[in-house]
Amino acid sequence: MNMSDFREITIEDQDLITPILRRMRPISSEFTFPYLYAWRHDYNLRFGIFGNHLCLVAKPRPYVPFAFCPIPVDGRHDSDGFKKAIDAIEAHFREQRYDLVFARVEEGRLPLLTGYYQDRAEVSYLPEASDYVCNSGDLINLAGRKYSRKRNHISQFLRYYENHEYVPVGPRNTDECFRVFEEWCERTDSDCVHPENCERLACKEMLDNWERFNLKGGLVRVNGKAEAFTIGERLNDEMAVVRVEKGNFGIHGIYAFINREFCTREWTDTKFINREEDMDIEGLRKSKKSYYPTFMVKKYLVRCHA
C-alpha cells in the first residue's frame, strides 16, 4: 500500500461516490459529493476504495492529518471488508509518518472504531465540528415565544424593504450570489489565511457546478440588487443541510427572512434541517443556537495508539 493508492477527488468521481454516500444515510454534514468536492483543497482530501469501503484521508493545514471512518460501498457493514479498509488507511498513515487519527466521526459510527481498536483508541469529543439540527417545521413556522425575535426581524425586513423579491438560485443568477459573497467578505474584513482553500472558494465550486450538483438555493434582491443568498442540499431522506447563508448585515432581518423562505419553499418534505457546525466561532455559535436546535450531531476524534 502506498500513497498513490489514494488519489484526489475530481468532478468525474461524482457518479462513483454519490450513491455510496446515499446508502450510508448520513446525518453528519460532511457526507455529500458537492461538499467533499467543494472543500477538497481545504481538506487536502484523497480517497480510495479498499475492502469494498470508501476511504477518505485528509491533511488540512491547521489540523492534524486524519481519516474519516470507512464507509461501506453497498451500505452494509462487513467486518472483513472493514478490516481491509483500516489496513489501507494504516498503511497510508505509516508511509506518511503520521499518527493514526480518525476525525469527524459520528457518534453512531464511533463503536466501529472503538470496537476495532479497543483500549488503543483514545476518544475526544469535537464540539466545534458537531452539527446543529433543527426541526424543519420550527424553521418554517417560527411558532411560539422562543422564535418571537425571528418573527420580529422578518416583520421589520418586510416593512422597511417592501421592494424585495425571493427567487430560486439557478444558472442565470449564480454570478449574483458570488458577488454577495465577495461583498460579505469585504464587509467583515475577511482576510483568508489561505485564500486558495477558504469558504469563498468552496462556495464558488458549488456555484460553478450548479447544473452538475443536486443543490437548491434562494436569492433575495432588495431594490433590484442581490443582497443575500443561501445554498442547501438533501443529506438523507429525512434531512436537508444548509451549506451557505450569506447576506448584507446592514439590511435588518434579511438573514431571518431568507432562512424562513428557503425552508418554506424547498424543505417542507424533510423532517430536519442540519445547519452545520459553529467551528468554535462565537458569532456562529450564537446564530445557530438562536434557532433552538432539536439535537446535535456529535462528532469525535479517535487517536489510535500502537
| 289 contacts 124 by C-beta, under 8 angstroms | no
Residue pLDDT tens, the chain, 306 long: 444 589 999 999 999 999 999 999 999 999 999 999 999 999 999 999 999 999 999 999 878 999 999 999 999 999 999 999 999 999 999 999 999 999 999 999 999 999 999 999 999 999 999 999 999 999 999 999 999 999 999 999 999 999 999 999 999 999 999 999 999 988 886 555 555 558 899 999 999 999 999 999 999 999 999 999 999 999 999 999 999 999 999 999 999 999 999 999 999 999 999 999 999 999 999 999 999 999 999 999 999 997
DSSP string, 37-59: HHTHHHHT-EEEEETTEEEEEE-
pLDDT of residue 3: 45
pLDDT of residue 1: 44
pLDDT of residue 270: 97
C-alpha 56 chain-centroid distance: 16
Q: Residues near 147 by Cβ (< 8 Å), separated by ≥ 6?
A: 138, 292
pLDDT of residue 187: 87
Domains in the chain, ordered, with CATH? 3-130 (3.40.630.30), 133-276 (3.40.630.30)
> Does an H or E element contain 194, and which?
none
pLDDT of residue 63: 87
pLDDT of residue 35: 98
Q: Residues near 173 by Cβ (< 8 Å), separated by ≥ 6?
A: 167, 219, 226
Q: Give the cell for residue 228.
A: 443575500
| 157 contacts 253 by C-beta, under 8 angstroms | yes
244 C-beta neighbours (distance < 10 Å), count: 21
- Give φ, ψ of 131 to 5 degrees: -90, 145
